[in-house]
């Protein structure tokens, strides 16, 4: 059913406060950082352990408790609060690359496996302390982790083998993640909307469906009354729930190029490939609405032959 990698336990980093995280994670969207950033954090954290602790990271979930975009507050139209660059040699203003920033209060939930799950409490405490120290030195979606993030200690939970016992465990875990919302993938809604649009226009594409779901469409519907008068009512096609357009990863634009063959590439020892963003539909849900930890976990799905590198979440498979 679920394609999520096997997770024998959960590593929970509660209430991590991040300052100035990246709020523009794709050319067509802004807001909460892309899940690619959190999967990158997961891999960086695993590398930082450097094999010292037997813990394997395989998936990542994020619960957002607070979201404070750094934007202007006046009027309907808002703009990002940008930093002022130093003046140039001629005294004029330097060019500005627009950067969107946001302050976050999040809890990170990693799906893990390894011998550390069955180690002694003393060994686990040592490992959790080391993980907290490593996280304090790292960037989360380009933002800085504040020292006040570690008022609550990380927690390592070994999941039971029995499915019913796992469900009971997760019921206790999800209560600790409230109040907050976690992001899940809802590309099933995208397919449904696409089929609806195709019924109205055979030339409709998934991009049309994605743009349609990214907004609330109002239409006027008229009804003829008995008194030969017309009544007009406004109707909308809003889908129930907090639906958002999100970036999911990248799709290749070129074949894989030899290391060092592309001028000005950051890494001259790794094969290079030009890519563009891949988009999908997500939904924000309260953790209390989930019944299984796998519903909130995201994992990487790469197909080098087709050139698709994207994040995936299996929430829709549990419906």
Q: What is the pLDDT of residues 54-68, one digit of tens each?
A: 889 999 999 999 998
Domain chopping of the chain, boundaries: 9-72+98-183, 187-282+300-318
pLDDT at 97 over 90: no
Both tokens of 313, joined, read 């979440």
Q: Which of 90-94, 217-221, 304-308 has the lowest mean pLDDT?
A: 90-94
pLDDT band at residue 25 under the 50/70/90 scheme: confident
pLDDT at 137 over 70: yes
ω before 155 within 30° of 0 (cis)?
Answer: no
Q: Between 103 and 75, where is the model more confident?
A: 103
User: How high is the pLDDT of residue 179?
Assistant: 93
- Mean pLDDT value across residues 177-181: 93
User: How high is the pLDDT of residue 198?
Assistant: 92
Q: Which of 86-90, 138-142, 197-201 has the lowest mean pLDDT?
A: 86-90
pLDDT at 235 over 90: no
Q: What is the DSSP string of 131-197?
A: HHHHHHTSEETTEEEPGGGGGS--EEEEPPSSHHHHHHHHHHHHHHT-S-EEEEE-HHHHHHHHHHH
pLDDT band at residue 221 under the 50/70/90 scheme: confident
pLDDT at 99 over 70: yes
- Mean pLDDT value across residues 97-115: 89
Task: Give the position of tokens 């679920």.
Answer: 2
- In 3D, which of 294, 211, 277, 280 has the Cα closest to residue 7? 294
CA angle (297 as vertex; 293, 302 as ends), nearest 5: 145
Intra-chain end-to-end CA distance of the chain, in Å: 11
CA–CA separation, 31 and 173 (whole Å): 27
- Mean pLDDT value across residues 179-195: 93
Q: Between 74 and 118, where is the model more confident?
A: 118
Give the global pTM: 0.88
Q: Which of 29-38, 39-48, 234-243 has the lowest mean pLDDT?
A: 234-243
pLDDT band at residue 1 under the 50/70/90 scheme: very low
Mean pLDDT score of the chain, rounded to an integer? 88
> Residue 212: enclosing H or E segment and its boundaries?
helix 206-213
Both tokens of 316, joined, read 């829709």
> Residue 130: enclosing H or E segment and its boundaries?
helix 121-136
CA–CA separation, 262 and 36 (whole Å): 24
CA–CA separation, 71 and 135 (whole Å): 27
- Mean pLDDT value across residues 207-233: 83
User: How high is the pLDDT of residue 2?
Assistant: 56
Own/partner pairs, 238-243, CB within 8 angstroms, 24+ separation = 239/189, 239/193, 239/213, 241/283, 241/284, 241/285, 242/181, 242/283, 242/284, 242/285, 243/186, 243/189, 243/213, 243/281, 243/282, 243/283
């Amino acid at each position: 059913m679920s394609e999520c990698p096997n997770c024998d336990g959960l590593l929970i980093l509660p209430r991590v406060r991040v300052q100035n995280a990246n709020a523009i994670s794709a050319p067509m969207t802004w807001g909460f950082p892309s899940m690619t950033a959190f999967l990158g954090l997961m891999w960086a954290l695993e590398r930082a352990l450097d094999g010292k602790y037997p813990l394997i990271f395989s998936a990542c979930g994020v619960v957002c408790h607070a979201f404070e975009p750094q934007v202007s507050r006046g009027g309907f139209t808002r703009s990002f609060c940008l930093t002022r660059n130093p003046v140039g040699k001629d005294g004029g203003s330097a060019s500005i690359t627009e950067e969107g920033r946001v302050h976050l209060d999040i809890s990170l939930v990693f799906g893990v496996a390894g011998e550390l799950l069955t180690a002694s409490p003393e060994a686990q405490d040592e490992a959790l302390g080391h993980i907290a120290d490593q996280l304090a030195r790292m960037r989360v979606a380009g933002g800085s982790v504040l020292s006040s993030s570690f008022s609550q200690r990380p927690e390592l939970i070994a999941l039971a083998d029995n499915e019913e016992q796992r469900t009971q465990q997760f019921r206790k875990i999800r209560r600790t993640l409230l109040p907050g919302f976690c992001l899940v993938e809802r590309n099933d809604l995208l397919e449904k909307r696409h089929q609806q649009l195709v019924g109205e226009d055979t030339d409709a594409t998934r991009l049309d469906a994605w743009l349609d779901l990214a907004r609330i469409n109002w239409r006027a519907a008229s009804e003829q009354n008995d008194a030969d008068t017309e009544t007009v009512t406004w109707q909308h096609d809003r889908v129930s729930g907090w639906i958002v357009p999100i970036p999911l990863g990248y799709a290749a634009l070129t074949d894989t190029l030899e290391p060092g063959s592309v001028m000005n590439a950051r890494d001259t020892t790794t094969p290079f490939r030009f890519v563009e963003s891949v988009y999908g539909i997500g939904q924000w849900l309260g953790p209390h609405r989930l019944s299984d930890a796998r519903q909130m976990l995201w994992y990487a799905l790469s197909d080098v032959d087709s050139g698709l590198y994207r994040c995936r979440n299996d929430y829709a498979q549990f419906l």
